[in-house]
Amino acid sequence: MIFNPAHIEEELQEIQRRNSSTEARTTILNLVVFSTLTNSSLADAALGQVLGKRAARVIHVMESNAASSDVHVSARCYLDRERKSVCFQEVQITSGADGVGSAPGTWTPLLVRDIPTYLVWLSGISGHTTLLYQAQEQADKLLIDSESNSAGGENPISLYHALTTDARSAGVAVSDFAWQRLRPLRTLTAHVFDSAYTIDRLRQIKSIRMDGTPAVFTELYIAWLAGRLSWRGKHGELRDQQGRPITIRSAPVSPESDQGKAHVRFDFHQGAAIEILADNSRGCARVTGAPHLAQKRVYRVPSNGEILLNEIDSVHNEYLYNEAVETLLRTH
């Protein structure tokens, strides 16, 4: 199909009319997704959970090895509780070697104006910075997946620097799928130290060992703790507020081999160690050394679709994520 915005718009509206048996909800957001052949299934799974829940215009640009770019349009409608159609308009662009599909002039005319635009960037950063910045200019919020990018060989630190500094200076909110996957572990850690028995031990942390998660999880988790507890120093030389060194050890796994388990051990200058053993596949976590908590607690990492659905309901920055990224950049 020739990339003619007017023709594409007409076809989208015609398909929606055929698929919508009742009055359709007004489109409330644009969702622009950039992915590769290797992670397009991740994008499709995430988008699948938005179907029927938000009326959206989706533009999915997927890198491919094809000689030329191509476009396919579709629309799916579902009835909500008020018997109105919630329609999901999709423009799927395969970007070939000609570069036409990913060029901003191809897809930006298809954005519905005067509504929020969310950019989900699942492609790599290296070699794509110009395109990323051009796409970012159209967005109110940028969603990255630092876990996926680090698995593809990207340096997480350069990734954060490239994305967050420029995006936030341009007034674009930034969020990270990896940060949200880490939320259950951060929440559980907060509960561990949220008692009269353990709160004073936050100032006594001597070392932390984190095993069984991708390396980027350790980076974000330690940055979160360092920011909250005002630790200082560079990576590998962190010191607490009293100037005492804090040792960080980890045995990370790749995202491909990760089975959804995490083991975190805190050792202190005084007192017994506290350990968190979380297993997403079993849906539970066990804590030792913190008697105020039940032996087992519910533990569930949100799916990509759940994360995406939550993120597109707000264009605001998350303070704790910004703090963690700033700490990460400062300590490296």
- Do residue 112 and residue 168 come from a single domain? yes
Using the predicted structure, report yes or no on whether residue 255 has a pLDDT greater than 60: no
- Do residue 37 and residue 156 come from a single domain? yes
Distance (Å, whole) CA 194 – CA 150: 32
CA distances from 138 to 167, 171, 219 (A): 11, 11, 30
Core vs surface per residue 117-149: b (16+ CB within 10 A) or e: bbbbbbbbbeeeeebbeebbeebbbbbbbbbbb
Residue 11 buriedness (CB in 10 A; 0-12 / 13-18 / 19+): middle
**Mean pLDDT along residues 313-330:** 88
Q: What is the CATH number of the domain that holds 18?
A: 3.40.50
Confidence grade of residue 259 (pLDDT, cut at 50, 70, 90): low
- Do residue 186 and residue 265 come from a single domain? yes
- Do residue 79 and residue 134 come from a single domain? yes
- Do residue 163 and residue 240 come from a single domain? no
Using the predicted structure, report yes or no on whether residue 222 has a pLDDT greater than 70: yes
Distance (Å, whole) CA 30 – CA 264: 39
- Do residue 160 and residue 15 come from a single domain? yes
DSSP annotation of 201 reads G
Residue 299 and residue 184 in contact, taking contact as beta carbons nearer than 8 Å: yes
Spatial strand order of the sheet with 274-279 comes to 247-251, 205-211, 261-268, 274-279, 284-288, 296-298
Residue 5, phi then psi, degrees to nearest 5? -55, -40
Domain that holds residue 71: 5-177
Of 209, 220, 149, 147, which is closest to residue 183 (Cα–Cα)?
A: 220
Using the predicted structure, report yes or no on whether residue 256 has a pLDDT greater than 70: no
- Do residue 189 and residue 262 come from a single domain? yes
Angle, to 10 degrees, between the axis of helix 129-136 and the axis of helix 156-169?
A: 30
pLDDT in tens, 8-19: 999 988 988 888
- Do residue 152 and residue 205 come from a single domain? no
Question: Which are the contacts of 142, defined by CB distance < 8 A and separation ≥ 6?
Answer: 119, 121, 136, 163, 167, 172, 173, 174, 175
Residue 305 buriedness (CB in 10 A; 0-12 / 13-18 / 19+): middle
Give the largest Cα separation in the chain, rounded: 70
Q: Is residue 330 part of a domain?
A: no
- Helix, strand, coil shares of the chain, percent, nearest 5, are 35, 25, 40
**Mean pLDDT along residues 88-98:** 92
Q: Is residue 314 part of a domain?
A: no
| SS3 state at 27 | coil
Distance (Å, whole) CA 212 – CA 189: 16
Q: Is residue 57 part of a domain?
A: yes
**Final residue before a domain boundary, out of 146, 177, 208:** 177
pTM over 0.85: yes
Of 185, 36, 183, 199, which is closest to residue 120 (Cα–Cα)?
A: 36
Q: Is residue 329 part of a domain?
A: no
90 strand-pairing partners: 58, 74
pLDDT in tens, 177-197: 999 999 999 999 999 999 888
Distance (Å, whole) CA 304 – CA 211: 22
Distance (Å, whole) CA 66 – CA 91: 18
Confidence grade of residue 133 (pLDDT, cut at 50, 70, 90): confident
Q: Is residue 325 part of a domain?
A: no
Tell me how many domains the chain contains. 2
